[in-house]
């Protein structure tokens, strides 16, 4: 049986200061603080019924990193089939217990990405219509992750064949090799995006926003707080996914995307959309150039036995188009 993965559902980052992270994520972005214990903050958007981002204090001298990316699966048997897959392919795995998630399977995929899977979770009433409790620009729900990987095609093939991910959009270079891919389980454009480059590293973690104005309001809030340097790219309109977007950097440099207005991909005859790497409309329909930091910087990922997963160079080379 193939594991039935529902969607990307949570991530755990380590951070150097819980105080600075709380100011950024709770005071400025208005995320709901569901728990504050175990030297960690457990955050969610107003539509999330469980925590979707855990920020854990990292050890002294440790580099802030991504501990894992988490997916919710349909059933307990799905976890067993993931164990079978890990054993068959020799992937390291272990069971972990997490706050509100009593049984979580953590494994390392063949590309070194730390992933966690769970079925059981304690949920909480959502805040979607508790408008009087909304704070900041109104982050709504977890949307997707974007990981930089050395071999996009191999990663895409494994997630498709073994975990049943479906392709919604992809970019090829001049030679026809896969430069980037957007894959999904949930029926949106993506739960998981793959981009060519040194990795594995987390490029960004994204929240869905109710509308474009809430994204613009984020810029106003960060400017009002005298922290415009947190705004890295956008707001703008992506060609890929059609999303209205903004990229911001947290106090440790973890990149968060605020994202809205993509489309559904559930029809059985949906044809994946192909882009050429040198098409400037791919990155932004409006033609705005992308800062170099957006291509060059990303969060390291934790190795299975601790420490940082060593990054390998991207298989494809080339200068990204439209860089300022
Ligand atoms: Fe994204």
pLDDT by 10s per residue, the chain, length 324 = 889 999 999 999 999 999 999 999 999 999 999 999 999 999 999 999 999 999 999 998 899 999 999 999 999 999 999 999 999 999 999 999 999 999 999 999 999 999 999 999 999 999 999 999 999 999 999 999 999 999 999 999 999 999 999 999 999 999 999 999 999 999 999 999 999 999 999 999 999 999 999 999 999 999 999 999 999 999 999 999 999 999 999 999 999 999 999 999 999 999 999 999 999 899 899 988 899 999 999 999 999 999 999 999 888 876 555 555
CA distances from 75 to 51, 68, 143, 213 (A): 19, 20, 21, 38
Q: Do domains 5-123 and 137-300 have the same CATH topology?
A: yes
Q: How far is the CA of 204 from the centre of ligand 1 (A)?
A: 7
Q: How far is the CA of 146 from the centre of ligand 1 (A)?
A: 6
Q: How far is the CA of 181 from the centre of ligand 1 (A)?
A: 11
Chain centroid to CA 46: how far? Answer: 18
Q: How far is the CA of 152 from the centre of ligand 1 (A)?
A: 16
**Whole-number pLDDT of residue 319:** 53
**Whole-number pLDDT of residue 255:** 98
The CATH number of the domain covering residues in 137-300: 3.10.180.10
**197 phi and psi angles, rounded to 5 deg:** 160, 180
Q: How far is the CA of 308 from the centre of ligand 1 (A)?
A: 23
Count of C-beta atoms within a 10 Å radius of residue 133 = 10
Does pTM top 0.95 for this prediction? Answer: yes
DSSP, res 30: -
Are 167 and 160 spatial neighbours (Cβ–Cβ below 8 Å)? yes
Q: How far is the CA of 3 from the centre of ligand 1 (A)?
A: 25
From 106, 182, 199, 104, select the one nearest 144 (Cα to Cα): 182
Spell out the domain ranges in the chain. 5-123, 137-300
Tell me how far apart the terminal alpha carbons of the chain are, to the nearest angstrom. Answer: 48
- Domain 5-123: CATH architecture, name and number where available: Roll (3.10)
User: Tokens at residue 108, please?
Assistant: 């390392």
User: Tokens at residue 28, please?
Assistant: 């400025």
């Amino acid at each position: 049986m193939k594991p039935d993965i529902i969607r990307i559902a949570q991530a755990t980052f380590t951070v150097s200061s819980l105080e600075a992270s709380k100011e950024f994520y709770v005071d400025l972005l208005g995320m709901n603080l569901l728990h504050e214990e175990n030297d960690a903050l457990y955050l969610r958007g107003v539509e999330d019924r469980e925590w979707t981002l855990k920020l854990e204090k990292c050890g002294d001298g440790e580099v802030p990193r991504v501990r894992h990316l988490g997916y919710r699966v349909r059933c307990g048997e799905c976890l067993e089939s993931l164990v079978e897959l890990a054993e068959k392919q020799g992937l390291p795995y272990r069971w972990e217990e997490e706050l509100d998630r009593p049984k979580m399977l953590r494994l390392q995929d063949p590309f070194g990405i730390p992933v966690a899977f769970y079925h059981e979770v304690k949920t909480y009433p959502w805040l979607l219509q508790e408008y009087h409790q909304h704070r900041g620009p109104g982050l709504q729900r977890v949307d997707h992750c974007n990981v930089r990987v050395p071999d996009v095609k191999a990663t895409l093939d494994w997630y498709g064949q073994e975990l049943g991910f479906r392709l919604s959009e992809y970019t090829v270079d001049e030679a026809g090799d896969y430069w980037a891919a957007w894959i999904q389980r949930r029926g949106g454009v993506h739960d998981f995006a793959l981009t060519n480059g040194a990795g594995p590293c987390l490029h960004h973690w994204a929240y869905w926003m109710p509308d474009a104005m809430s994204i613009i309001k984020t810029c106003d809030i960060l400017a009002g707080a005298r922290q415009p340097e947190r705004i890295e790219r956008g707001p703008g309109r992506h060609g890929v996914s059609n999303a209205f977007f903004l990229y911001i950097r947290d106090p440790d440099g973890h990149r968060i995307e605020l994202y809205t207005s993509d489309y559904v991909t559930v029809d059985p005859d949906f044809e994946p959309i192909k882009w050429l790497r040198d098409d400037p409309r791919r990155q932004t329909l409006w033609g705005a150039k992308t800062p170099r930091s957006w291509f060059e910087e990303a969060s390291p990922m934790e190795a299975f036995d601790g420490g940082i997963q060593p990054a390998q160079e991207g298989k494809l080379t080339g200068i990204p188009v439209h860089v300022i």
